[in-house]
Amino acid sequence: MLKIQNGVVKVQPPEELLLTEKKNPIIFKVYCKKGRKIERVSEERIEQGLKPISQDITYLASGKKFGTIEVHFKNIETAQVHSVKSLETEDIILIPIYKGPTSN
């Protein structure tokens, strides 16, 4: 992790750790059924939609303008399983739109 070059100490995480972090996130679009469009909704409604998979989530970030959510998972296998199915509540649908390599 630590490398010394010309008297300068550099922190370099292992390459496999960096690759794992890049493969784990899935980006979801939030489709609001009432408005019939993609839009930003409250955190409570997003958490309700993600409740079925909440035990697998390690990090969650919400976009500020467009109804997007970035979700990180514990491992790549779990991310691949969740990258191909939408999550639905009574008022929103979370549609997966991006995942590096999907399970398809």
Going residue by residue through the chain, which has 104 residues, state the pLDDT in tens, using 9 for 90 and above. 777 888 888 888 777 766 666 667 888 999 999 999 998 888 899 999 999 999 998 888 887 777 889 898 888 888 888 888 899 999 999 999 877 654 44
Contacts of 46 (CB under 8 A, 6+ apart): 30, 60, 62, 69, 92, 94
Predicted local confidence at residue 37, as pLDDT = 92
Predicted local confidence at residue 4, as pLDDT = 83
Count of residues for the chain?
Answer: 104
Predicted local confidence at residue 20, as pLDDT = 61
Residue-range domain boundaries for the chain: 24-98
3-state secondary structure of 68: strand
Predicted local confidence at residue 104, as pLDDT = 47
pTM of the complete model beyond 0.85: no
H helices present in 1-104, as ranges: 15-23, 43-50, 76-82
Could you tell me the fold of the domain covering 24-98?
Alpha-Beta Plaits (3.30.70)
Predicted local confidence at residue 82, as pLDDT = 87
Token output for 80: 């691949």
Predicted local confidence at residue 95, as pLDDT = 93
